[in-house]
Amino acid sequence: MIYYTYTYSTVHQTITRKLITSRSIASHQPILSCPIDAEPLDRYKVGGYHPTTLGCILANGRYKILHKLGWGGYSTVWVARDQREETYVAVKICVSEGGNDRKLQVLDILRRLTSKHSSRLHVMRMLHHFDVDGPNGTHRCLVLELLGPSIPDVIETRFRDGRLPGHVAKEVVKQALLGLDILHDQEIAHGDLHTRNLTFGIAPIDNMPEREFIRILGKPEIGHVHRNDGKCLEPGIPEYIVRPARTYSLPLSNTIKIIDFGESFSLQNVPRTLHTPLAVRAPEVIFQDRLDYRVDLWSLGCMLFELFVGQPPFDSVFTTPEILVSQMHEIINETLPERWLDRWETMRGGAIMESSGPRLQEWLEEVYFDGEKKKDMTMEDIVKLG
């Protein structure tokens, strides 16, 4: 999966990561520990992560690694200085195992879109890509524009009541719709649309000296990796792990961008399923129906609800597909398409699930107006949203 996200730990205490699995014991692989809580150490193996160090130079001297932005199941993401263009960028270093060709194809399309829509584009840009060889294999590296924190991260650090002010939410929604319209105009589905995949842009910083730039991000905190048996680390394991930077400290712009295209697809390459978070997953995915770019519309509706009222419309904890479909029916009160009925009967196991909760408009009003969060939108605004 190829995606771009700025994930940073909110846990400030030191946590020792010890990875012990039956597989590692059976194969006598080394048991590793590190005082930094970050990406799993057992992913540093052949086919997995590339061991990356601060100050290393990639792509024949072009990109200097300065800090870490985050990680995912299929990549680590780093802040770098493009020494040829004299700009700050993000470099996503993917795991060396295969399966990324479809994602790269979509990102190439987005790069061409960028040149057509210039600064009005509200979609993350890919600037360059290259491969790097390492002890764990050959890794595809994507050079992406450097962006700020996600919407939930901004809410967490700047808005104590847990939701955006109404005027900010309206602007975020407007720009997200513009970005999605560009994708759908090309019949490209995002496939993973939710608030964590909306980020703020940053103000121009390319002329900022490296020392000042790193000061804003926070001095990199590293934790050395050790083998618990005292032996030397193998070549594919990094000497140390870096805690992700504080991207919320960067000077933010008013631009909103859609990021993370790991689930994206075109009509020429439609996947069998998507891995969108369950709380915002479209029913077409749940019922294994044919997918196209319109699958984003359901996730968009869920995202709008969350942006304005401060929580998703459906439960996001301990939710199963069966519970989610029941909640959908309860809130929206529409009959399922006939082609889904047989599968629904199988999913619910013959149990009768009655609808007794509030409908969508009632639920919007209840969540927005009942509570301690600041209310700066009118009932008319909430009615329009419904």
| In a shared domain, residues 294 and 234 | no
Question: In this predicted structure, which of 11-15, 153-157, 175-179 has the lowest mean pLDDT?
Answer: 11-15
Domain extent, residue 299, equals 270-381
| In a shared domain, residues 259 and 278 | no
Tell me what the pLDDT averaged over the chain comes to: 84
Residue 109 lies in a domain: yes
Q: For residues 156 and 174, what is the distance between their CA atoms, to the nearest angstrom?
A: 21
Which domain-ending residue is among 267, 285, 308?
Answer: 267
Q: For residues 93 and 107, what is the distance between their CA atoms, to the nearest angstrom?
A: 15
Mean pLDDT of 320-340: 86
How many C-beta neighbours within 10 Å does residue 232 have?
A: 8
Q: Is residue 316 helix, strand or coil?
A: coil
pLDDT at 8: 30
Residue 92 is labelled as binding a ligand: yes
pTM: 0.83
- Strand 17-18 to strand 188-189: parallel, antiparallel, or no bridges (unpaired)? unpaired
Q: Is residue 35 helix, strand or coil?
A: coil
Place of tokens 């990796």: 225
| In a shared domain, residues 252 and 274 | no
Give Dmax over CA atoms of the chain in angstroms: 67
Residue 176 lies in a domain: no
pLDDT digits (tens, 9 = 90+) for 298-309: 999 999 999 999
Portion of the chain with pLDDT greater than 70, in percent: 84
pLDDT digits (tens, 9 = 90+) for 37-62: 899 999 999 999 999 999 999 999 99
Q: For residues 79 and 165, what is the distance between their CA atoms, to the nearest angstrom?
A: 30
| In a shared domain, residues 280 and 235 | no
Q: For residues 308 and 168, what is the distance between their CA atoms, to the nearest angstrom?
A: 9
